[in-house]
Amino acid sequence: MTRIVIVGGGTGGTVLANRLVENLDHEVEAGEVEVTLVNDSPDHVYKPTFLYVPFGKKTTDDAVRPLADLVDRRVDLEINRVVDIDTDAKAVELQDGRDTLSYDHLVLATGAKLVPDEIPGLVEGGHHFYGPEGAEQLRDALADFDGGHLVLSVVGVPHMCPAAPVEFTLMADEWFRQRGIRDEVEITYTYPIMRLHGLESVSNWMEPRFEARDIHTETFFNAEAVDPEAGVISSMEGEELDYDLLVAIPPHAGDDLIADSGLGEDGWVAVDRHTLEADHAEDVYAMGDAADVPTSKAGSVAHYEADVVADRIASEVRGQLPTATFDGKTVCFIEAGMDEATFVEFDYEHSPDPRDESRPVHWAKLAYNESYWLTARGLL
Amino acid sequence: MSEQLTADVTIDARGAGCPGPLMDLIGKVKTADSGTVLKLQTSDRGSVTDVPEWVEKAGHELVETVEHDDYWSIYVQKA
């Protein structure tokens, strides 16, 4: 019996579990292979939905479906939390009652978590849209906001969905225009490096659009502290910005399990960027936001990586040399307002080339968001 | 001369593309004590101009940039 254990039921883990039982259907039916997906919640969350919640276009319920509805019946779904990984004994320890799960192949798809408390005052003084509670609170704050200085600050890098801060800023601009209060609102976008985005071509795409829409920008702005009483965000570089409404992309971190098990000192699993095999343990893969690869922490990356890891593990189970590799493929839609969007596609060797925004691409993004549930099932 | 440079913290960002090396440096500077010398190893050519630009803006000191065969070592002292 070959035991494959996947930790994490987000996009990467769910697609992988479904692809594995499909790729290895004969072995699974014969009882030679067991695929176990461990997730600490019975729900699967599609996080891109949260971008639309502050503007009243989606609800947080739209982001959630039961994991059991998305996972193939041949997958052993374990709702539990992994509290320890022993890569020498090749076992993971579960939190609730059961001792350990032994594995022959382990895949870590534990995602990224928000750690806003790394910046003093940010929890009290800032909003975000990277989780259900934050998105709902921001929706209420925006509904009450009738003028003043909105600061969108990208505080944490790397962060999930590098397009989202760009999208939020452009959507907020248009939303205020539609509400007839744009003249009462000043918008400032801050970014930690010398340009507006990590990807140079995306930064070049943003510049004229932000200028045309009177969105101010601050580069080399690494937020260090927030003073909620005074309404001030200050940077390591010595800059201070007064704000009336602060929307931050909070610092992110990998699961504590990763550093604790020696798989990556910064909290992201150190992996080969092509094979996705962990550097510091045998028979361990990492994928999605948890893996330290030089591309975006995005759902599309997790999806494409899942295909690669499924192929590699299936080959190993069959005693073949795995040949599938990940080339860094990343695809992201970028909303340019409330009804137009563009998209970027790139990999390790090729930079993105964003085109002018259009309505059809906006509708394509909304249509994909609806059909995402087919992706999770491993069908699209 | 470059052989005599010593660093308190070494950040190996070789293989990472922009803005990885700069963000790795910023992250380490954030938590370092004043006076700490950090060595950033980077194979990204852009770092050679981006890092000094940030160091000047943030008020730290660029100690030296040493070119190796296929990467650079950039020494920065936190103010």
What CATH number does residue A237 fall under? Answer: 3.50.50.60
Q: Is residue A354 part of a domain?
A: no
Q: Is residue A337 part of a domain?
A: no
- CB distance A134 to A127 below 8 Å: yes
pLDDT at B15: 80
Retrieve residue A208's tokens.
């004229």
Q: Are residues A146 and A66 in the same domain?
A: no
Spatial strand order in the sheet of B9-12: B9-12, B37-42, B72-77, B61-67
- Residues of chain A whose C-beta is under 8 A from some C-beta in B? 157-158, 192-194, 198, 200, 220, 222, 224, 236-238, 294
Distances in whole angstroms, Cα of residue A102 to Cα of each of A4, A89, A258, B10:
9, 8, 18, 37
Structural domain boundaries, residue A53: 2-111+255-317
Q: Are residues A60 and A131 in the same domain?
A: no
Structural domain boundaries, residue B12: 2-77
How many domains, in total, are found in chain A? 2
* DSSP 3-state of A147: coil
Peptide bond into A158 cis (omega under 30): yes
Mode of pairing for the β-strands spanning B72-77 and B37-42: antiparallel
What interhelical angle do A164-178 and A200-212 show, nearest 10? 10
Backbone angles phi, psi at A200, to 5 degrees: -60, -40
Q: Is residue A164 part of a domain?
A: yes
Chain A hits for B58, CB-CB cut-off 8 Å, are 220, 222, 236-238
How many domains, in total, are found in chain B? 1
Q: Are residues A127 and A243 in the same domain?
A: yes
- Asked if the Cβ–Cβ distance from A193 to B16 is below 8 Å, we say no
Q: Are residues A145 and A237 in the same domain?
A: yes
pLDDT at A265: 81
pLDDT at B4: 64
Q: CA quadruple A139, A225, B9, B74: dihedral positive or negative?
A: positive
ipTM rounded to 2 decimals:
0.86
**Domain final position from A287, A302, A317:** A317
Q: How many CA atoms, within 13 angstroms, populate the side-chain half-sphere of residue A3? A: 13
Which candidate, A95, A6, A81, A97, places its Cα nearest to that of A40? A81
Q: Are residues A85 and A184 in the same domain?
A: no
Nearest Cα of chain A lies from the Cα of B66 at a distance, in angstroms, of 22
Q: Are residues A100 and A205 in the same domain?
A: no
- CB distance A254 to A112 below 8 Å: yes
Peptide bond into B19 cis (omega under 30): yes
Is B7 assigned a catalytic role?
Answer: no
Q: Are residues A146 and A175 in the same domain?
A: yes
Q: Are residues A106 and A158 in the same domain?
A: no
Q: Is residue A198 part of a domain?
A: yes
Chain B hits for A236, CB-CB cut-off 8 Å, are 26, 29-30, 58
CATH number at residue B58: 3.30.110.40
pLDDT at B1: 46
**Domain final position from A317, A337, A352:** A317
The pLDDT > 90 percentage for chain B reads 71
- CB distance A215 to A188 below 8 Å: yes
Q: What is the pLDDT of residues A307-359, one digit of tens each?
A: 999 999 999 999 999 999 999 999 999 999 999 999 999 999 898 999 999 99
Cα dihedral A258, A264, A266, A269, rounded to 10, equals -70
Q: What angle do CA A84, A86, A87 make, to 5 degrees?
A: 135
Interface with chain B: mutation pick from A154, A193, A195, A200, highest number of B CBs within 10 Å: A193
Q: Is residue A370 part of a domain?
A: no
Choose, from B5, B18, B58, B79, the residue flagged as catalytic.
B18
Give the amino acid at A131.
G
Interface with chain B: mutation pick from A118, A220, A271, A346, highest number of B CBs within 10 Å: A220
**Domain final position from A199, A218, A251:** A251
- CB distance A116 to A233 below 8 Å: no
- CB distance A17 to A39 below 8 Å: no
- Asked if the Cβ–Cβ distance from B59 to A157 is below 8 Å, we say no
Q: CA quadruple A143, A147, A148, A149: dihedral positive or negative?
A: positive
Chain A hits for B22, CB-CB cut-off 8 Å, are 193
Please count the residue pairs, one from chain A and one from chain B, whose beta carbons lie less than 8 angstroms apart. 39
A157, A224, A236 member nearest B23 (Cβ)? A157
Q: Which residues, listed in sequence order, are joined to residue B10 by a DSSP beta bridge?
A: B39
Nearest Cα of chain A lies from the Cα of B14 at a distance, in angstroms, of 11
Q: Are residues A170 and A293 in the same domain?
A: no
Q: Is residue A363 part of a domain?
A: no
Q: Are residues A141 and A181 in the same domain?
A: yes
Interface with chain B: mutation pick from A191, A195, A203, A222, highest number of B CBs within 10 Å: A222
Question: Which portions of chain B are predicted below pLDDT 50?
Answer: 1-2
Question: Which portions of chain A are predicted below pLDDT 50?
Answer: none
Which candidate, A280, A229, A272, places its Cα nearest to that of A85? A280
Q: Are residues A122 and A238 in the same domain?
A: yes
Q: Is residue A241 part of a domain?
A: yes
Q: Are residues A25 and A147 in the same domain?
A: no
